[in-house]
Structure formats: C-alpha cells, structure tokens
Amino acid sequence: MRLKTTLLKEPKHILFMVSCVGWTTADELYSCSEDHQILKWNLLTSETSLVVKLQEDIYPIDLHWFPKTVSGKKQTQAEIFVLTSTDGKFHLASKIGRIEKSVEAHKGAVLAGRWNYDGTALITAGEDGQIKIWSKSGMLRSTLASQGSPVYSVAWGPDSDRILYTSGRQLIIKPLQPSAKVIQWKAHDGVVLKVDWNSVHDLILSGGEDCKYKVWDSFGRLLHSSSSHDYPITSLSWAPDGEVFAVGSFNTLRLCDKTGWSYALEKPNTGSVFSLAWSADGTQLAGACGNGHVIFAHVVEQHWEWKNFVITLTKRRTMQVRNVLNDAVDVLEFRDRVIKASLAYGHLVVATSLQCYVYKNWNTPLIFDLKEGTVSLILQAEKHFLLVDGAGLYIFSYEGRLISSPKFPGMRADILNAQCVSLSNDTIAIRDKSDEKVILLFDALTGKALGDGKPLTHKLEVVEIALDQCGPSTERKIALIDKNRDLYLTSVRHLGREPKICKIGSMVHSMAWNDAANILCGIQDNQFTVWYYPSVVFTDKELLPKTLYIKDGSEFSRAPHILNYVGTKVTLRQGDGSLVYSSVLPYPALLHEYSTSARWEDALRLCRFAKDQSLWACLAGMAMANRELTTAEMAYAAIGETNTPTTEFIDTSYINFIKEQPSKESSLAHMLMFSGQVQEAEATLLQAALIYQAIQINIDLFNWERALELAVKHKTHVDTVLAYREKFLQKFGRKETNKRFLQYSEGVEVDWEKIQAKIEMELSKEREKAASLSVRSSVTSRR
Ligand SMILES: *[C@@H]1O[C@H](CO)[C@@H](O)[C@H](O)[C@H]1NC(C)=O
C-alpha cells in the first residue's frame, strides 16, 4: 500500500503558507492561507477557484466543516464551516465564503476549532491556554479548561462526551461531565503539536516537536512510538475507518497502518505540512503546505488475497487480478473511485463512490447503485455480504438483492468495524457501542432480533467477536474476546434459556474462524493456537486442552494479527506489516465433515491413520455430542493410553456405565450430566416419566432439596431421599438442620431393605419398558 501524491507545478497560494484544508465532498476541497484567500479545489475538473478574499486582518489557522451526517440522518442545516484566526476570533462561514458570524473567543490566536460528531457543540482551543465550548450558533457554553500554556490541538472522543488536548508535553483527556475523571500523561519529549482520535476503534494519535508520532489507546497506554524524524511532526490524521493514518512533517508525508508501522514514505516538496484532512469516504488525502502548495494524495496498491487470487488496486479506478496458479492477469475497470473491497468465498465485492460491483468471474460483474457514497465496511459470508455506510447496515445476496437491514436503538453505523460486527449465513452479531458488554444478535434473513430479542450479555466489555460459519443455524456459535483478553464461546440461538458462556482461552489477541469447518485459530499468549473443536467445551470441557494445536509463535515478529483462515492456510500480518502464512493440517476439518455426516467408521480410520492425540480427543467430543457411544468409548480409550490413567479410566468406564443404563432416556440423561447439563438431564427423565431416576440423579449430586421436592410432588420415594440424606449426614457426623427434612422425617420410617427392593423394581420396570419399545420398533421397521 502506498500514497500516490499530486502537487501542482506552482503553488496557488503564492508566497504564503497554507494553514488548513477541509473537504466538502470527496471531490471538493477548501484551503485557507495567510494570503487571506479561501480557494476551492475541484478534483473532477482539476480547477481551482477563489471562494472569497477575507478581510486583511483575518489570518486563518484552522478550518472544520460542520458534520454532514449525524447518526445516519442527513443534516438539513446549510453547509457551514468554522474558521479560527490569529486575532482571537472564530468565524462561522457559509459555503460561498460569507462570514455569518465572528466571535471573540480567546486572547491571542485561536489554534483549533472542532465540531463534535453530532454538530451540537463546537470546541475551540487558544494560545491563552483555554478551551471553550460553544453552541452550534456560536454562544459560549462553558470554559472547559484553563492552563498556562497554549493548547495546540484538540479532538473529540468517539461519543462526543470527552475531549483530548495538548498541554506542553502532556496529553489530557477530559470528560465534559465535570465530576468525571481526567486522564493526563506525559506523551512526548517535546511540545505536542497535533492530536487525533478515531471514533471507530477509539485510538489516539499524537505528534510533536520531539519529531515522533505515537499511537495510544484511550486510557493513555502507548501502543506505538515512531523513531525520531528529522523535523517536528506538524500534522497527523486518521482515515475515517481507522485502518490507516497520515503523518506530515517538513517535506514528508507518511502513510501508516493503525498499529503504527509505516506503509509508505513520500518526500514531496511541500515545506512543513501543517494540516492533513481525509475525505469522508477515506479515498483522498489533502495537506496544507508551508510553501503555499496544497498536496493531494490517494492510497494505491492495496492488496486482497483469497486462495489462488491476488487482487491489487493499481489506480483509483482499476484493479488487477492475478491467478497465482497460472499467472493469468485480468484487469477490472470501474466507473468511479474504489472505496472498499472484499474478497472471500469465491466473490469479489467492490464498493465505489456510487455503485457496488459483485464478481464471481472476472468479466461479468453484477452492478447495482448505492444510496450513500461512503461504504466503510464490507463483510462476507458464503451466502451473502454486509455493507455498512454512514446511514446503516445492509445485507445483500451475491445476486445484488437487498435481503435485510437490521436496526437498533442508538445505532451509529459510522463507527462499526470488523472486530465488532460479524456475519454468517444466518446471523449478524454486533457488539453494542453504548454498552460494550452486550452483543446484539439478528437474523440475517429478516434483520429482526434473534429469539426473544434479548441480546447476549457478557460479564466484561467485549473487544472482538466472530461467528462460526458452518453447520446448522440452530448450532451457531460466537467466539468473543473480552477486555481481559479471555476468549469465550457461546451459542447464539439458545431457546430462551440463559446461554452458557464458556471460557476457552486466555491472553488471546486475534482470532479467526475457518471458512469450511468450525475450527478457530488465534494468537494466544504469543503462541499460534488452533482450537480444532471449540464446541467440545459444552460436552466435556476436560477434553478441550487436548483438542488444541499450539505452535511456538517465535517465528512471528511482535503482535501478529490474523487476517483470515481459508482452507488449511492462515494469513497473518506481522507487527512490521509483512504477511506470513501458517498452515493447519487438513485432518481436523475432515473429522468435522465425518462427524457432521455420521461417518464414524471413517472418522475412526482417520484417527488411527493420523496417530494424533488431539484428533482422538476431538473425536471423543464429537461422538459424545452426537450420542455415538461406541465411537466415544474407543476415542476415550485411545487418549487414555498415553495420558494419566486415572482420569481416562473414569472416562471410559463412565461411558460403559452410560451404555449399561436400562433405557435410552437414562443413557441420554447421564450423557447430559456428563457434559454438566443437569437441568436438561432431569427434564429428559421427567419427560419419560422416570421419576425415581430423576430423584436419584439429584441425590447423586447432593441436590437434596430438589430431590425431596420431586419426591413429595410425585408422592414417591420420599423415604429413599430421607434414607440417603441420613446416610450422608452420618458420614460427615452432622445433624439434620434443614426444616423440610426435619418435617418429613417425622412421619416416615426409613427401611433400607424396602428401599433397595423398590429401587430394583423401578430399574426392572424401566428395562422392561425399554425392551418392549425396542420390540415394537423392530416390528414396525420390519413392516
Ligand atoms: C451457506 O450458504 C451457502 C450458499 O447458499 C451454502 O452453499 C452453504 O452450505 C451454507 N452454509 C451453511 C453452513 O449453512
């Protein structure tokens, strides 16, 4: 990826430095200079025209257009911008350059002016060390801060409820709410000159006189520090989607990835670049240059890879497709600028400023028009894809049909990124921005909230989510990473019951599901880890650690990030920006396929052939989940051979115990107990009218109250419960204190012989019933 820059031969603001720039559309830019001129640059016609010549005493410093879209709604207000100047004023100016209002704001220069995201407030920062908040019409609301040194730069937080500003070498984050906590830290070894704060991922940029730029999270933790440049960093700006940012210095323009490493360095003849601005669609960058120039740049040579195809954006409207198998090259041309693209599941989806192109082969794309020109995210599933723009989320089929458009209260589509949205054939999951513990779940086909509409709530803030892609929709799972970097797995369709959210990893920094089997890979504590069968945690969580493949991560450089996991190939981006690949054996995927199609013989053969303990552990879990006891027994025995005998001995003998249950229902109930699903086990028995058995499993688990409750309710085996309870208390040398047990033991005599006989009778009744059922079913099947 690099920047393609354009600079006119002669500057338009002759002999004067350009102080600020701002885009109205992706093709039109305003620039202001010390020559008092405001110029308008039309990129389509390449014309530059004078908007207005300001009064001689106005020396502009900063310019910011009023936000165009607010929470998906187009602003009705006429287009205005704020212009700050050296004389302590800010000016509200119209598009034709008329100054509508000038306000005395600070002593000395007004160094920065920024609208908040919904346009309800303006913030100004002054040479006088003050920060003031103004209403939309320019009425003073409050003075937010006052310090002894100039405030060079300010930025709003993602929710417009906090601001970030410079204070000498320090950075300060101050909430608007007076009582809330202020965060302050030393950021640079010189005065900080510029800051920016991205609303999509909440990351902060700073640059200063120490000639460095840095990336921070919003708690002030350093994520990246650049090496020292030759000159101070005079400007920096996040691209709206937060994927990249630009940095300006003397004769220098840099393009960086969000993690801070540099994609490209340009050395244009610009003097110092004092201000940088991205167009709203993120395709264009403009810089205000110290030598009177305005520099334009756009990003080219972005790559997308999938299986044997590598696609490169070669020009703004052109892509090159290379098939690495035969080196065949196709060229794709677009009418308008390419804004976003995605390549997966055999389809290339490209959003330009006006249209969406869907390619299955390279010569006949399907094309449809887009309402809004600023697609900020494309996600693909095998069946359909998701487009996100400033106004909302839309699911389209690969035939170009709009399928659904989920909505929810407080939706802000402009800040959604790939970490907090996930798509599968049947489900869309969105991490809620207003409460980051919450994951909203929608049916992809209808756009309606799933099930009872209750979202999934985790105990901690969630930072990344991913839906698995295979198997029936009823078994759809979501993996989530929370603020502590713990990895959890849970079901998205859980039929009204509280979903079990099970931990499957810790210190996980990046993850991706495989496209063809529900296998998950991730970077766990700097080790590359593959969860061959993550769902095993719901069947037998003891098996989980045995189903992992862990590879030492030392071959990767710092902080690798997983881009995708297609087939057997995992693509990672390393801390220095380079791509590396890791491969996973094909056996686990094959085992998933055999299990899905109940080909247990094949599964056993595969495990015997591969001689891999982790595969046997997967098979044990898969067979248990599918109630395939014979296979489960063999698989458990196989892992038992090399592992500690005691636990494994229990595993296989427990399976024998399950197999020897008098009826199918009892077997099922014990399997459910085995995976910790006690309520389900009890419900299974009660449904089959196996009351004694339901009581007994509660006794086995020391659920005394529940056992007694069932016995009393069904008027049977009250004495059994009392007898076991008595034995239990005796064993621990304790006296009965439970009121209900005291109450019932008064009228009931405990006779162990009688109880034993009754239990025998229950079991033989169960056996007889099961036998007669199986005879009946074999008769029907013969008929
Ligand atoms: C997803 O949809 C595609 C296309 O309709 C289909 O071929 C595939 O089997 C589906 N996958 C699942 C897991 O349902």
User: How confident is the prediction for the chain on average, in pLDDT?
Assistant: 90
Q: CB of 436 within 8 A of CB of 461?
A: yes
Q: How far is the centre of ligand 1, averaged over its atoms, from the C-alpha of 118 (Å)?
A: 40
Dihedrals phi, psi of 506, to nearest 5 degrees? -140, 160
Better-predicted residue by pLDDT, 486 or 578: 486
For residue 15, what pLDDT is reported?
79
Which of 397, 401, 425, 468, when mutated, tests ligand 1's pocket best, judged by the most ligand atoms within 8 Å of its CB?
425
Q: How far is the centre of ligand 1, averaged over its atoms, from the C-alpha of 306 (Å)?
A: 18
Which of these three, 483, 506, 529, is where a domain ends? 506
Helix (H, G, I), strand (E, B) or coil at 480: strand
Dihedrals phi, psi of 404, to nearest 5 degrees? -160, 170
Q: What share of the chain in percent tops pLDDT 70?
A: 95
Confidence of residue 3 (pLDDT cuts 50, 70, 90): very high
What are the pLDDT digits (tens) for 71-116? 445 555 558 999 999 999 999 999 999 999 999 999 999 999 999 9
| Residue 376 C-beta-side C-alpha neighbours within 13 Å | 25
Answer yes or no: do 514 and 634 share one domain.
yes
Answer yes or no: do 518 and 631 share one domain.
yes
Which residue's CA is minimally distant from atom 12 of ligand 1?
A: 470
Closest ligand 1 atom to the C-alpha of 469? 13
For residue 776, what pLDDT is reported?
61
Question: In sequence order, what are the residues at sequence separation of 6 or more whose Cβ sits closer than 8 angstroms to the Cβ of residue 478?
Answer: 422, 429, 439, 441, 456, 465, 466, 467, 468, 489, 490, 491, 492
Question: In sequence order, what are the residues at sequence separation of 6 or more whose Cβ sits closer than 8 angstroms to the Cβ of residue 219?
Answer: 183
86 lines ligand 1 (CB under 6 A): no
What are the pLDDT digits (tens) for 606-623? 999 998 999 999 999 999
Which of these three, 506, 532, 563, is where a domain ends? 506
**Which amino acid would we find at residue 63?**
L
383 lines ligand 1 (CB under 6 A): yes
Q: 661-687 in b/e burial notation, b at 16+ Cβ within 10 A?
A: bbbebbbbbbbbbbbebbebbbebbbe
Confidence of residue 649 (pLDDT cuts 50, 70, 90): very low
Flag whether 124 is in a domain: no
Q: How would you classify the pairing of strands 37-42 and 28-33?
A: antiparallel
What is the rounded CA–CA span in Å between residue 413 and residue 417? 9
Neighbouring C-beta atoms of residue 466, cutoff 10 Å: 22
Q: How far is the centre of ligand 1, averaged over its atoms, from the C-alpha of 394 (Å)?
A: 19
Q: What share of the chain in percent tops pLDDT 90?
A: 69
Helix (H, G, I), strand (E, B) or coil at 665: helix
Confidence of residue 643 (pLDDT cuts 50, 70, 90): very low
Which of 383, 475, 514, when mutated, tests ligand 1's pocket best, judged by the most ligand atoms within 8 Å of its CB?
383
Confidence of residue 222 (pLDDT cuts 50, 70, 90): very high
470 lines ligand 1 (CB under 6 A): yes
Flag whether 115 is in a domain: no
What is the rounded CA–CA span in Å between residue 79 and residue 771? 82
Q: How far is the centre of ligand 1, averaged over its atoms, from the C-alpha of 469 (Å)?
A: 9
Task: Kindly report the pTM of this predicted structure.
Answer: 0.83
Q: How far is the centre of ligand 1, averaged over its atoms, from the C-alpha of 602 (Å)?
A: 24
End-to-end alpha carbon distance in the chain: 70
Answer yes or no: do 542 and 628 share one domain.
yes
Q: How far is the centre of ligand 1, averaged over its atoms, from the C-alpha of 22 (Å)?
A: 45
315 lines ligand 1 (CB under 6 A): no
Flag whether 105 is in a domain: no
Q: CB of 370 within 8 A of CB of 360?
A: no
Q: How far is the centre of ligand 1, averaged over its atoms, from the C-alpha of 593 (Å)?
A: 14
Q: How far is the centre of ligand 1, averaged over its atoms, from the C-alpha of 675 (Å)?
A: 29
Q: How far is the centre of ligand 1, averaged over its atoms, from the C-alpha of 305 (Å)?
A: 21
Give me the domain span that covers residue 436.
412-506
Answer yes or no: do 633 and 530 share one domain.
yes
Q: What is the DSSP string of 618-643?
A: HHHHHHHHTT-HHHHHHHHHHHHHHS
Q: How far is the centre of ligand 1, averaged over its atoms, from the C-alpha of 382 (Å)?
A: 6
Q: How far is the centre of ligand 1, averaged over its atoms, from the C-alpha of 383 (Å)?
A: 6
Flag whether 48 is in a domain: no
Which of these three, 382, 405, 428, is where a domain ends? 405
Q: How far is the centre of ligand 1, averaged over its atoms, from the C-alpha of 564 (Å)?
A: 19
Is the pLDDT at 444 greater than 70? The verdict is: yes
Closest ligand 1 atom to the C-alpha of 426? 14
Answer yes or no: do 467 and 529 share one domain.
no
What are the pLDDT digits (tens) for 623-640? 988 888 889 888 988 887
What is the rounded CA–CA span in Å between residue 514 and residue 520? 6
Flag whether 62 is in a domain: no
For residue 647, what pLDDT is reported?
46
Q: Looking at residues 244-252, what average pLDDT do you find?
A: 97
Closest ligand 1 atom to the C-alpha of 470? 13
Q: How would you classify the pairing of strands 355-359 and 89-94?
A: unpaired
For residue 77, what pLDDT is reported?
57
What is the rounded CA–CA span in Å between residue 511 and residue 480? 9
Answer yes or no: do 521 and 495 share one domain.
no
Confidence of residue 652 (pLDDT cuts 50, 70, 90): low
What is the rounded CA–CA span in Å between residue 118 and residue 671? 55
Which residue's CA is minimally distant from atom 4 of ligand 1?
A: 383
Task: Give the lowest-confidence range in 200-214, 343-357, 434-448, 688-702.
Answer: 688-702
Better-predicted residue by pLDDT, 282 or 533: 533
Which of 345, 347, 360, 382, when mutated, tests ligand 1's pocket best, judged by the most ligand atoms within 8 Å of its CB?
382
Flag whether 595 is in a domain: yes
Confidence of residue 186 (pLDDT cuts 50, 70, 90): very high
Q: How would you classify the pairing of strands 2-6 and 294-300?
A: antiparallel
593 lines ligand 1 (CB under 6 A): no
Answer yes or no: do 693 and 772 share one domain.
yes
Better-predicted residue by pLDDT, 462 or 560: 462
Q: How far is the centre of ligand 1, averaged over its atoms, from the C-alpha of 596 (Å)?
A: 14
Answer yes or no: do 554 and 488 share one domain.
no
For residue 641, what pLDDT is reported?
47
Q: Looking at residues 733-744, what average pLDDT do you find?
A: 90
For residue 99, what pLDDT is reported?
94
Flag whether 522 is in a domain: yes
347 lines ligand 1 (CB under 6 A): no
Better-predicted residue by pLDDT, 430 or 674: 430
What is the rounded CA–CA span in Å between residue 306 and residue 324? 11
Which residue's CA is minimally distant from atom 2 of ligand 1?
A: 383
Answer yes or no: do 514 and 632 share one domain.
yes
Number of domains in the chain: 4
What is the rounded CA–CA span in Å between residue 19 and residue 208? 17
382 lines ligand 1 (CB under 6 A): yes
Answer yes or no: do 720 and 677 share one domain.
yes
Is the pLDDT at 642 greater than 70? The verdict is: no
Flag whether 450 is in a domain: yes
323 lines ligand 1 (CB under 6 A): no
